[in-house]
Amino acid sequence: MIPLVKPIFSGKEKQLINEVIDSGIVASGKYVEEFEQKFAKLSQAKFGTACSSGTTALHAALLACGIKSGDKVITTPFTFIATANSVLYCGAKPLFADIDPETYNISPKSVEEILEKEKDVKAVICVHLYGLPCNMDELLKLKEKYKFVLIEDACQAHLAEYKGRRVGAIGDAGAFSFYATKNMTTGEGGVVLTDNARIDALARKYINHGRTAHYEHDILGFNFRLTNIAAAMGIAQCESIEERTKQRIANAQKLSDGLKDADFLETPFVPKDYTHVYHQYTLRIKDGLRDKFMQYLKDSGIGCGIHYPQVVYKQPLYQSLGYKNGLCPEAEKAVEEVISIPVHPSLSEEDLNTIIKTIKGFKK
Ligand SMILES: *Cc1c(COP(=O)(O)O)cnc(C)c1O
């Protein structure tokens, strides 16, 4: 069985975690600060605030950008549910824009259609899905024109680049996840990145009980802090992420080259000047064959997964909030056709050849 995901550790993680335990300072501490600085630097951002997860990072980013109860926030329905849930946590209302069928990312045109209808949209959360950056120029143009806060859900896009700039702080703020299956991990963990000192200070306050000074609190904050133990793991992972990302990209290239003649599928599309970091390598299987293809891969010992099997607004929670089906036709089509196959850096040359050969052997 070739697994779909596999966390990789260099050995440095254990060493640093032992240091933390020996130091006796296992909750917040200097490893957290060092990790924040290292990850922000890697991502070409000015500030980073470590959080307990990608979800709490999204929540803190929205709060720090001033999203309040009743506000409208546009996002994509083709994502992990946490993206839209973070809007609900603020008491705000998610509005769903459709995706671009080529990139699977939020369509700026669809965003603009909503902005034209709804006059008071406070924020847009774009998701760099699978590790491919969104069309940031178009989103930034809309931001100029309609004045909203732009938040990047970069939970799948560590070190992804848009026209030479790494994602996360291209908009007002960005959230990353370090969950076990992401491109780098701290077990559970996240970070808010921003170039804006005011947003950074607020995010830092929100994740720590709205604290202004020792036992002094002026806003309703949370405990979204990362531990020194998790941060130690993160520091070690920062040292290998560039190398591991290169390996993901090389693996993806090999898969795309090997699969280019298979007529029943589409390999990932990468626009010019975008760097896809392949959190997932996702195929589109045409002619209603996806589920049959998935069964074939499973029977052949190739790990695979569907990201995502349903659009967010068709989840029972969102249906109970009154969202109607048919809102975003391209996203609804994608959930029926996508399938992710292994691309992680621990794949061997032989694994990649096996994957390609197996897929080419699929009989419609
Ligand atoms: C993983 C993920 C999240 C949530 O991150 P957690 O660390 O699991 O809380 C949010 N958005 C997207 C797009 C993700 O992939």
pLDDT per position as a tens digit, 266-300? 999 999 999 999 999 999 999 999 999 999 999 99
Write out the E strands in the chain: 47-51, 72-75, 93-96, 121-127, 149-153, 161-162, 165-166, 173-177, 190-194, 211-213, 216-217, 265-266, 274-275, 281-285, 338-341
The burial class, CB within 10 Å (0-12 / 13-18 / 19+), for 326 is exposed
Distance CA 81, CA 77 (A): 8
Q: Is 80 in the pocket of ligand 1 (CB under 6 A)?
A: yes
Q: In the chain, which stretches have pLDDT less than 50?
A: none
What tokens were used for 90?
A: 């603020």
190 CA from centroid of ligand 1 (Å): 9
Say which DSSP state 207 is in. T
Q: Which of 51, 179, 312 to mutate to test the pocket of ligand 1 (most atoms within 8 A of CB)?
A: 179
What tokens were used for 182?
A: 């992401």
Angle between helices 30-42 and 228-259 (to 10 degrees): 30
Distances (CA, A) of 162 to 19, 157, 167: 37, 11, 7
- Given a contact cutoff of 8 angstroms between Cβ atoms, the answer to whether 260 and 24 are in contact is no
> In the beta sheet, which residues pair with residue 339?
283
Vertex 146 angle, CA 145 and 152, to 5°: 100
Task: Write down the pLDDT at residue 27.
Answer: 96
Task: Write down the pLDDT at residue 119.
Answer: 87
> In the beta sheet, which residues pair with residue 150?
124
Atom 6 of ligand 1: nearest residue by CA position: 54
Q: Is 82 in the pocket of ligand 1 (CB under 6 A)?
A: yes
pLDDT digits (tens, 9 = 90+) for 148-161: 999 999 999 999 99
Task: Write down the pLDDT at residue 161.
Answer: 98
Q: Is 224 in the pocket of ligand 1 (CB under 6 A)?
A: no
130: nearest Cα among 183, 77, 52, 75: 183
